[in-house]
Amino acid sequence: MSGPLLSVRDLSIGFGAFEAVRKVSFDIEAGETLALVGESGSGKSVTALSVLRLLPPAASLAGSIAFEGQNLVTLPEPGLRAVRGNRVGMIFQEPMSSLNPVHTVGRQIGEVLAVHQGMRREAARRRTLELLDAVGIPDPQRRLEDYPHQLSGGQRQRVMIAMALANDPKLLIADEPTTALDVTVQAQILALLKDLQRQTGMAMLFITHDLTIVRRIADRVCVMTKGEIVETGPTAKIFSAPQHAYTRHLLAAAPQGKPLAPPADAPEVVSASDMKVWFPIRRGLLRRTVGHIKAVDGVSLSVRRGETLGVVGESGSGKSSLGYALLRLIGSEGRIVVLGEAIDEKSGKALRPFRKHMQIVFQDPFGSLSPRMSVAEIVEEGLRVHRPDLNAPQRADKRDAALREVGLDPGSAGRYPHEFSGGQRQRIALARALVLEPAFLVLDEPTSALDVSIQAQIIDLLRAIQQRHGLSYLFISHDLRVVKALAHRLIVMKDGLVVETGAADAIFAAPQHDYTRQLLAAAFSETPHQLPGAPQTD
Amino acid sequence: MTVLASPAPIRKMTLSPLNRRRLANFRANGRGWWSLWIFLVLFLVTLGAEFITNDRPIVVQYKGETLFPAFVTYPESTFGGFLATTDYRQPFIADEIAANGWALWPPVHFSYQTVDIYLPTSGANPPTWMLSRDAACANYPMGVADPACNWGNFHWLGTDDQGRDVLARLIYGFRISILFGFILTILSSVVGVVAGAVQGYFGGWVDLIFQRLIEIWNSVPALYLLLIVSSVIAPSFWVLLGILLLFSWVALVGIVRAEFLRARNFEYVTAARALGVSDRTIMWRHLLPNAMVATLTFMPFILSGSVATLTSLDFLGFGLPPGSPSLGELLAQGKDNLQAPWLGLTGFFTLALMMTLLVFIGEAVRDAFDPRKTFA
């Protein structure tokens, strides 16, 4: 066949007056993987959706998208349907919302086969089983009758892949297919995609913001920013010799630096022993407790002044529950000592004086700020509770100092959260915590929802604040690269239990536990096949 | 020492962009926007019912004294009589005032319970404009020549079977219906929001028990209870309001509870808890704004429901005490006096207009707060 499989020329996409994508051109050869890389708002997902014309009706499309010589921009709707899900498959970021919760897995895959190949029930069932087997779902016979909620996140994404592959597409468009998954699962899915590609010879358009994934999976890379492709080239070349300033900026943006050396014999700020967070499972008419979900099961820790304790684990490992329990935001058992006083027996009003010593910053900067309060009100809220002695100008002074501390202009205090970007919002959340001058800060995935370049800035800011005030952090994250840049000591959690603990340097250099090794391999390896002992079950 | 006060946080008194868009959406619904204005005009006009239709003058200048009979009850001795209250419609009082000063009357000289003693026939009388001047003035002492047979004593919408002016009763009845509706709506919203907020915020056992109680409470037949209560005590305005409130607060609990249940796990609520903010403040400052949209959307419909409830109770004779002006009572009279269609027609058109306006306003409010339209 002559010419590339997919050839996009001068593609522009606009939403009203706003141009989301400007004059983008790229080619994909048969069997090749092209990665479209960019930060949020760069227009990469819109570009991917436009290939199958899946954009909302408000979007206007200009340019040409030629797939096997057919221009998809002008193709009428019936012709498009023959392409969608048939010759071009697509997988999305969030497997839970991409699968219909009221239909079984078997029925959803069967539907794709029935629509495009007119397969009868028996034939469809046989093909579905084949597909599920191919994407590595154990015991597919039984899984056929399962509903999406009965599967794990990784399994759901595998089902999505099976659906996309059902009709042997020539091209697979993957829009951030691993972003919602844990690192080890992420690695398995990437390996699976690479494997399937080798078997079927399909091409892949891979949209992601994560450069480590690009390095592992892509043959060629297009770097997008602000709706334009600024650089295109083979993966190795982009990583070794980036030409464009933005690409260099993106590559340099990975969280860097080392944690500061903590003072040698600093006093203990927070300690906890044998912490347990158990959620009862109730069954039957009388709601008798038949068992417990052990979110945190017997964890002990201590944090010294000026020290960062990293808590690492995958989703469901209990790391966030641990942070919440330490702040007494959820019920727990076990002794918690803050600044020399036990707080695990205290509640309500008695607990309030301790709240100002320990604060929390959340993952989602869009959910953690009340949309109806101005920045000034948000930052001052804690002062109103803990420093009733201050009058309005004094409060305003403290607020402005906190805003300056996190690198925001105090003049913006009258504005509302929606007027700020994600990174700025995270700074506001940090200012809200810092204004009380706490001794201990729980950081619950504070960088996970941010773009890489912003991540690095927030990490630098956290380090600077720690140095200035001798703050102690409990840094909860699934992202080992971020943890490495900040943590002095590490707790690795799995299923509510601590599997490994010790100095961060030692663990990164020589992990003792199998699970730790797996996490490290998934986070730092450069090819999808360096996964020692990665099990195939999710 | 000079203290440099940092500038106070800039609080714009103008509407936030979101509220401005909501207002624009509200205005875009032309039907609702016009309904609101018509309703407001009607409501404000009827609020001043005493100035439109009353059996007392608004201002009287009598022997150099300025009196305000519409607001102050003067004994008849003021004008040379002997009764405890003055009936300004009496010819000799009118003559006395005319001789020693002047009186400013409202356009219609009847109050809602004034019985016109000069009606041409007993029972329900048709609107005066349907009669010839001779017929209309037939029973006045001086017939057509009587100065009292004037525009002020005109029955624009006829009288009911007790000789009371329908227009006067209509205006006072409209006012009492709307006021009753407003008070009931506000009180039941306050109670409903508080109950829903507590259930949603605390959840668990509080929620479980409260919900079951509400289910039981909801299954109590409110109408029968009202019948029983009104057979024991004559229900006044406030008693009636209290009894209806007992059952109407439930309407809002469901939506407010759902909003609070949804929002209590938002991270900014957890953040406020971590700051040590008290439960009450969290509910008020962080959660209530979330529930306000649902509440405001619901309110016009609760209002029209309250008005309809009061009217139907009045219609059945279990509503406001006898003699009170009420639309329901007007409808009941219309039913009993089919030979006097002006009674039923007046009641019907007034109620239909009021309900239609309220529902149109409610629809426009719903559109205004619809997030799909707000962010479209």
Q: Do B272 and A374 touch (CB under 8 A)?
A: no
Record the tokens describing residue A470, joined without a space: 């001798």
A383 → chain B, closest CA residue: B275
Q: Name, in order, each residue with C-beta under 8 angstroms of A501's C-beta and a sequence gap of 6 or more.
A: A489, A490, A491, A492
Give the full edge-to-edge strand order of the sheet including A333-338: A288-304, A268-283, A333-338, A341-342
**Which pLDDT does position B369 carry in this prediction?**
79
Q: Do A329 and B6 touch (CB under 8 A)?
A: no
- Residue A225 φ/ψ region, left for φ over 0, alpha for ψ in the -120 to 50 degree band, beta for the rest: beta
Contact A499, A516 (CB under 8 A): yes
pLDDT band with cut points at 50, 70 and 90 for residue B185 = very high
Contact A468, A451 (CB under 8 A): no
pLDDT band with cut points at 50, 70 and 90 for residue A262 = low
User: What gap in Å lies between CA A330 and CA A293, rounded to an integer?
Assistant: 14
A527 pLDDT above the threshold of 60: no
A14 pLDDT above the threshold of 50: yes
Record the tokens describing residue B172, joined without a space: 């006072």
Q: Do B6 and A396 touch (CB under 8 A)?
A: yes
**Which pLDDT does position B42 carry in this prediction?**
94
**Which pLDDT does position B12 carry in this prediction?**
46
Q: What residues in B contact A414, CB-CB < 8 Å? A: 9-12
Using CA of residue B251, residue B256, residue B262, residue B264, what is the dihedral sign? negative
Q: What residues in A contact B272, CB-CB < 8 Å? A: 370, 381
Which of B268, B277, B278 is the best substitution to test chain A (most A C-beta atoms within 10 A)? B268
pLDDT digits (tens, 9 = 90+) for A392-423: 889 999 999 999 989 888 888 888 888 888 88
**Which pLDDT does position B5 carry in this prediction?**
41
B376 pLDDT above the threshold of 70: no
B36 pLDDT above the threshold of 70: yes
**Which pLDDT does position B179 carry in this prediction?**
93
Element (H, E) at A289: strand A288-304
Q: Do A385 and B275 touch (CB under 8 A)?
A: yes
Task: Annotate A341-390 with three-state secondary structure.
Answer: EECCCCCHHHHHHHHCCEEEECCCCCCCCCCCCCHHHHHHHHHHHHCCCC
Half-sphere exposure of B119 (CA within 13 A, CB side): 21
Highest mean pLDDT among A19-28, A123-132, A314-323, B34-43: B34-43
Which of A357, A370, A445 is the best substitution to test chain B (most B C-beta atoms within 10 A)? A370
pLDDT digits (tens, 9 = 90+) for A21-76: 888 999 999 889 999 988 877 888 888 888 888 887 778 888 889 888 888 888 88
> What mean pLDDT comes out for the span A118-139?
86
Q: Residue B60: what are its φ and ψ, rounded to 5°?
A: -125, 130
DSSP secondary structure of A173-198: EEESTTTTS-HHHHHHHHHHHHHHHH
Which of B2, B3, B4, B6 is the best substitution to test chain A (most A C-beta atoms within 10 A)? B6
pLDDT digits (tens, 9 = 90+) for A100-109: 888 888 888 8
**Residue A272 bridge partners (DSSP):** A301, A336
Q: Which one of A374, A382, A393 has the shortest CB-CB distance to B6?
A: A393
What domains can you pick out in chain A, each with its CATH number? 29-58+66-252 (3.40.50.300), 365-437 (no CATH)
**Which pLDDT does position A531 carry in this prediction?**
41
Q: Do A360 and B3 touch (CB under 8 A)?
A: no
Mark out chain A residues that contact chain B at CB-CB < 8 A.
Answer: 324, 327, 329, 351-352, 355-356, 358-360, 362-364, 367-370, 372-374, 376-377, 381-382, 385-386, 392-393, 396-397, 400, 410, 413-414, 416, 429, 432, 436
> What mean pLDDT comes out for the span B68-86?
84
Q: Do A368 and B5 touch (CB under 8 A)?
A: no
Element (H, E) at A46: helix A44-51
Record the tokens describing residue B263, joined without a space: 């929002």
Half-sphere exposure of B25 (CA within 13 A, CB side): 21
Percent of chain A, pLDDT > 90?
11
B38 pLDDT above the threshold of 90: yes
Q: Do A377 and B286 touch (CB under 8 A)?
A: no
Contact A322, A273 (CB under 8 A): no
B289 pLDDT above the threshold of 80: yes
Supply angle C-alpha B334, B335, B339, rounded to 5: 65
**Which pLDDT does position B4 carry in this prediction?**
41
User: What gap in Å lies between CA A473 and CA A461, rounded to an integer?
Assistant: 13
Mark out chain B residues that contact chain A at CB-CB < 8 A.
Answer: 3, 5-12, 16, 266-268, 270-278, 285-286, 289
Which of A381, A385, A408, A436 is the best substitution to test chain B (most B C-beta atoms within 10 A)? A381
Contact B183, B242 (CB under 8 A): no
pLDDT digits (tens, 9 = 90+) for A173-232: 998 888 777 777 888 888 888 888 888 889 999 998 888 888 888 999 999 988 889 999
Q: Do B289 and A410 touch (CB under 8 A)?
A: no
Q: Which one of B270, B271, B285 has the shortest CB-CB distance to A432?
A: B271
Q: Which one of A356, A362, A400 has the shortest CB-CB distance to B267?
A: A362
**Which pLDDT does position B9 carry in this prediction?**
44
pLDDT digits (tens, 9 = 90+) for B201-216: 988 888 999 999 999 9
**Residue B71 Cα to chain centre, angstroms:** 21
Task: Indicate the DSSP class of residue B115.
Answer: B
pLDDT digits (tens, 9 = 90+) for B146-183: 877 888 888 888 888 888 889 999 999 999 999 999 99
User: What gap in Å lies between CA A63 and CA A12, rounded to an integer?
Assistant: 6
Mean pLDDT computed over every residue of chain B: 85
Task: Indicate the DSSP class of residue A419.
Answer: G
pLDDT band with cut points at 50, 70 and 90 for residue B3 = very low
Half-sphere exposure of A214 (CA within 13 A, CB side): 24
**Which pLDDT does position A204 carry in this prediction?**
92
Terminal-to-terminal C-alpha distance of chain A = 39
Q: Do A432 and B275 touch (CB under 8 A)?
A: yes
User: What gap in Å lies between CA B309 and CA B222, rounded to an integer?
Assistant: 11
Contact A157, A196 (CB under 8 A): no
pLDDT digits (tens, 9 = 90+) for A90-99: 888 777 777 8
Length of chain A: 538
**Which pLDDT does position B98 carry in this prediction?**
84
Q: What residues in A contact B289, CB-CB < 8 Å? A: 370, 372
> What mean pLDDT comes out for the span A148-169?
85
Q: What residues in B contact A373, CB-CB < 8 Å? A: 285-286
Q: Shortest CA distance to A322 belongs to which of A301, A307, A305, A303?
A: A301
Burial-class residue A350 by CB neighbours within 10 Å (0-12, 13-18, 19+): exposed
Q: Which one of B273, B277, B278 has the shortest CB-CB distance to A329?
A: B273
Mean pLDDT computed over every residue of chain A: 84
Is the full-model pTM beyond 0.80? Answer: no
**Which pLDDT does position A263 carry in this prediction?**
66
Q: Which one of B9, B271, B274 has the shortest CB-CB distance to A414?
A: B9
**Which pLDDT does position A94 carry in this prediction?**
75
| A511-534: burial string, b at 16+ Cβ within 10 Å, e else | beeebbbbbbbbbebeebeebeeb
Q: Shortest CA distance to B317 belongs to which of B331, B338, B302?
A: B331
Give the full edge-to-edge strand order of the sheet including A18-28: A18-28, A6-15, A59-67, A70-71
> What mean pLDDT comes out for the span A500-520?
88
